[in-house]
Chains A and B, each alone.
Chain A
Amino acid sequence: MTDLVWLIPVFPLIGFLINGLFTRKLPEKAIGWIGSLSVGASFVVAVLIFLEVLGMEPGSRSVQKIVYTWILSGDLSVPIGFLIDPLSLVMMLVVSGVGFIIHVYSIGYMHGETGFRRYFAYLNLFVFNMLILVSANNFLLLFVGWEGVGLCSYLLIGYYYEKKSAADAGKKAFVVNRVGDFGFLVGMFLIFITFGTFDFTQVFSEATAKLTQGGLMVTGITLLLFLGATGKSAQIPLYTWLPDAMEGPTPVSALIHAATMVTAGVYMVARCSVLFAMAPVSMTTVAVIGGATAFYAATIGMTQFDIKRVLAYSTISQLGYMFMACGVGAFASGIFHLMTHAFFKALLFMAAGSVMHAMAGELDMRKMGNLRHKLPQTHWTYLFGTLAIAGIFPFAGFFSKDEILFYSFERHMGFWILGALAAIMTSYYMFRSVFMTFYGKSRVEADVAHHLHESPPIMTVPLMILAGLSLVGGLVGIPIIQGWHVFGDFLSPVFAPATAILTSNAHGAAHHSLALELILMGMSLAIAVGGLLFARYMYIVDPAAPDRVISRIPEIHQLVYNKYWVDQLYDILFVNSIVKFSRFLWKAFDDAVVDGIVNGLARLTRGFGGVLRQLQSGLVKDYALSIMVGVVVIIGYLVLR
């Protein structure tokens, strides 16, 4: 079965080609099911391979399948293939499984939209690239997928391109990601210089021999790779594109900007765990950035009124958790949270989409309220997602988040405090969104109110499946009892080399104290419930309270509500200035500098100052003078040297 791994990405590619080229005449249903089933087929193959791998010895669960040699010339050899190991399997299962559910949901959600076909074609292309990304056996192929998912993401963010904000959001995502991608690219180059190969297995097995612990090279490589991850996974400082990305259709937000693409950075860091483990500085950076992002995004999440923006900031915050986990060395916990997050965040987004569907596209929670009777299924599924993300026992998020908090505590108290504060805010803003949307007094506008209706089964059934997963998905990772953390044990061979490096550095690993673990677990739960109760007080018991708080601290609220003005700052500092800088450089070089030299020379030769001339405006003699300057410099250098 493992020989058929190439089928996993190929199925969505076929779906893309069919929908992209041939289905112009077909009805919506057919297009939608072609798109969905192609991803479903990938999921089936992934499950079969997963079962086969489960039958192998834990130590030998890493299979490489070289499909073909892409580049072979001289010393240059780039074989293209897939790497099947527990980590890539988890990712493939999540991407194709959650992807399939979201595809099905999209059939209902996108019903009647113009460009239905285009939507499914892009979505399949995205899944193809994402599967390439997670199953690649080398950095170069990973980069192919990395760029590919980015491209699909921009296209889908700008799906409603008639809306200027949507097109702008697509552009913003693109520009911000360039910065990260550059870091990734240079990091990759450095890897190639050091190892002479892009192959994962080779790079990671030779890492300890070819790089020095904590040396400049490994620190540089990992920091650059992490820069790439901050772009793709929306971490400080490159997170600003993700909230704007909510301009895309809601299932896209669920699939790309919550469950899969944005976790690519976490996956990449986990994949390179050996390299990161060798660079303590990078590990600390990852943990600090992750923790800070988790905290920072949560504060913004508390103030937003747009339901999708709340979820977007929550995604940034949860991704921060995953990075914090990686940074403190708990890579498996990071991936565990990645998986549970994929379940509940996809669920939350799609439930929010179901609300939008009922409310004729309304996103402002101030215009909702008391929707639970009209939208019963949406309500309870959203509630499940909230319970999961807030970390209420026994929902999925409880286990994964608690684990991250536990390892953070072991590493440094400060990380735990950051994580715990973010957790209480998470619980608060999520229940705030529940109460504002589904409880309290209805603030729905009259003309919308009588159209309220529950979504069709094609949308609610996917919600229920994900709600089920949000409930039980964490049970694969029960801590404390030896052997019950099935998930962690499954992944542990992948991270064993990294763990070995980390423990040898830590001079004797900290012993797990059962009491400490239980205390921390209790605190996690208390935090989650605390957030719930606080939100309940603010929005159910005393609905006037939020306004009182705001009026008490208007400046702080304004600051946070406006996302600390970072977007505006970036606009001024970077987005505009890069264009300005290029223009300046162009003008400066092609106009001013050469013009200056030319004019200077002209003055010298002719003995009088001429009128300032624009060089690139087309005067042949100025061009010729530019050539002459080149001649003088080059010949002078050669002869006089």
Chain B
Amino acid sequence: MIQFPVVNLGGILPALILCIAGLVVMLACLFVKRGTVTVAAIMSAIGILAAGAANSPLRVLNETAFSGLVSLDPYSWFFNFLILIATGLTVLASVRYLSDDEPGAYEYFVLLLFSGAGMMFMVSGNHLLTIFVGLETLSISIYVLAGIIPKNPKSSEAALKYLILGGFSSGIFLYGAALLYGSAGSTGLPALTEYFKAGTFGPMALAGMGLLAIGFAFKVSAVPFHMWTPDVYEGAPTPITGFMSVGVKAAAFAAFVRVFFDALGELQVNWTEILWVLAALTMILGNLAAIVQDNIKRMLAYSSIAHAGYILIGMVAGTELGTAGVLYYLLAYTFTNIGAFGVVALVGSKREANVHIDDYRGLAKSNPLLALVMSIFLFSLAGIPPTAGFVGKFAIFSAAIAQGYIWLVVIGALTSAASVYYYFRVVMKMYMEVPETTPARLEFSPSMILALGIAVIGVVYIGIFPTTYLNLALESVKPLF
């Protein structure tokens, strides 16, 4: 007699709604003649809002569904919301970027929604296979999105590179999962916890853990698995770059933290040292390489690498405060970086022009408000109070200090002091330099204004009133400890 698993669709409702919304957009837009992009965007936004509503109940749950394949807990709840924010802001920031006459412009939104659903599976996965399926769902959508600009060799190159290397890293991840399966006889996270608690594990299990770490490190672009990042970030359409830098990173970190604290928590002594080195390398290389970039997308790509380094410090710290810091940091970073890339998309216009930082000269004069908003995002990236970026760094650094990782924090402080230089360089260009040619008029769209408005309010609000959000993060990581 075959036992059928209990199907509880309610548990995955948020992700399910995103998938359905994607299907609806795909079908409905076949029949829309004019204004496809707007219609698709509105439908996507509705889907995202509905998914947000469906996500709310998760906050008070602490259970698993689908025979333990996904866990429904505040941790999933937090990241689901984060992903929905990232997806929603990306939808808003993308409207003006696409044009109706391009065939299949609406597919962009479909893929965005699907990748959001993939991320949600990844963050709530309670089983390495769920996580892997989520990872692949999001990755495949992103491969396509990265190359979606028609007739742009850079975009196609980015997509191909990401595909090949992504496939490579997925293979590594899967190999790690296989080794763990070979050791523990299961890839469910609770089963792995049991197995490592028993304490009879050999080198095979350790190697499996190492390979998993590498798979995640690739997705969060930690050094030395970062090399794809600048190329792909530069080539991909700017709103997608923003989405990748926050959505993919957040989902990958979410699964990273869950797997390593929940299932591999017993091995903490083994992986902390590795993450320590990765964090140090990532911060140093990311920040120093960013200093010499002249293309703002490449600069933000290296900056995104550097931020992965700071976030890794929170994992190294290993306490509830440290991981809560990771969650808060990712939230802050979501608002900040989507906003920054939104401005880049706005200034760059769709043909990916104006991506040199010299193109920001005199922006304060022609668009004072936009320059102010961009400055706020850059200050937050640099970690200058009272922005959210500062509180995030502060939370992570102080958690690491409390655990005695002083040198790592010194590296963090030193590199972030250096990072101010390259962020501030853009501010200087905007406020204190004169453009050589008259800048083209920027095309503001209501949705872009809304996206930037939400992002800037988010950055400032959770920076000035961080307590609620830090405690939310603290509450959300409770299931892992």
Contact = CB atoms under 8 A, between A and B. Distances in A.
A36 to B, nearest CB: 23
A174 interface: yes
Contacts of A193: 401, 406
Query: Which of B210, B224, B406, B433: most chain A Cβ within 10 A?
Result: B224
A181 B417 contact: yes
Interface in A220-241: none
A167 B471 contact: no
Interface residues of B, number: 66
B397 interface: yes
B410 interface: yes
Interface stretch (A259-267, A383-391, A427-435, A631-639): A631-639
Interface string A63-74: 000000111111
Given A73-B471, A161-B434, A143 B394 contact: no
A170 B428 contact: yes
Nearest to B163: A620
A624 interface: yes
Contact of B467 (A72, A189, A589): A72
B385 A147 contact: yes
Interface in B363-393: 384-386, 391
Contacts of A626: 224-225, 227
Contacts of B418: 178
A537 interface: no
Interface string B219-259: 00000110110110000000000000000000000000000
B161 interface: yes
A76 B409 contact: no
A123 to B, nearest CB: 15
Given A147-B384, A161-B433, A635-B210, A171 B169 contact: no
A174 B424 contact: yes
Interface of A, helix, strand, loop or mixed by DSSP: helix
A634 B203 contact: no
B431 A155 contact: yes
Contacts of A69: 467
A627 B213 CA distance: 12
B15 interface: no
Interface string B262-287: 00000000100010000000000100
A567 to B, nearest CB: 19
B111 interface: no
Interface in B87-122: none
A182 interface: yes
A629 B413 contact: no
Given A76-B321, A590-B289, A192 B431 contact: no
Nearest to A193: B401
Interface stretch (A455-463, A549-557, A580-588): A580-588
A27 B410 CA distance: 50
A590 B161 contact: no
Most buried by B among A69, A192, A615: A192
Interface in A173-188: 174-175, 178, 181-182, 185-186
A144 interface: yes
Interface string A15-36: 0000000000000000000000
B224 A167 contact: no
B84 to A, nearest CB: 24
A630 B466 CA distance: 37
A582 B287 CA distance: 9
B73 interface: no
Nearest to A615: B227
A637 B420 CA distance: 35
A620 B402 contact: no
A178 to B, nearest CB: 6
Interface in B265-313: 270, 274, 285, 288-289, 291-292
A181 B418 CA distance: 11
B68 to A, nearest CB: 28
A113 interface: no
A218 interface: no
B28 interface: no
A2 interface: no
A143 B401 CA distance: 19
A144 B386 contact: yes
Contact of A620 (B165, B214, B321): B165
A162 interface: yes
Contact of B288 (A167, A175, A582, A637): A582
B225 A182 contact: no
A393 interface: no
A618 interface: yes
A147 B389 CA distance: 15
B138 interface: no
Contact of B410 (A161, A175, A186): A186
Given A192-B401, A638-B206, A630 B421 contact: no
Given A583-B292, A623-B161, A627-B169, A155 B432 contact: yes
Contacts of A143: 385
A447 interface: no
Nearest to A639: B203
Nearest to A72: B467
Given A76-B321, A158-B432, A579-B292, A627 B274 contact: no
Given A582-B289, A629-B224, A638 B414 contact: no
Interface in A125-148: 140, 143-144, 147
Nearest to B217: A630
Given A627-B225, A631-B172, A638-B206, 12 more contacts: A70-B386, A71-B466, A73-B474, A140-B385, A147-B384, A162-B434, A616-B227, A620-B160, A627-B214, A634-B210, A638-B274, A639-B203
Q: 8 nearest interchain CB pairs?
A: A73-B470, A161-B432, A158-B432, A623-B227, A582-B291, A182-B417, A586-B289, A639-B203
Interface of B: 157, 160-161, 164-165, 168-169, 172, 203, 206-207, 209-211, 213-214, 217-218, 224-225, 227-228, 230-231, 270, 274, 285, 288-289, 291-292, 320-321, 324, 384-386, 391, 394-395, 397-398, 401-402, 406, 409-410, 413-414, 417-418, 420-421, 424, 428, 431-434, 464, 466-467, 470-471, 473-474
13 contacts: A71-B466, A71-B470, A72-B471, A75-B402, A155-B432, A162-B434, A167-B433, A171-B428, A192-B401, A582-B289, A586-B291, A620-B161, A627-B227
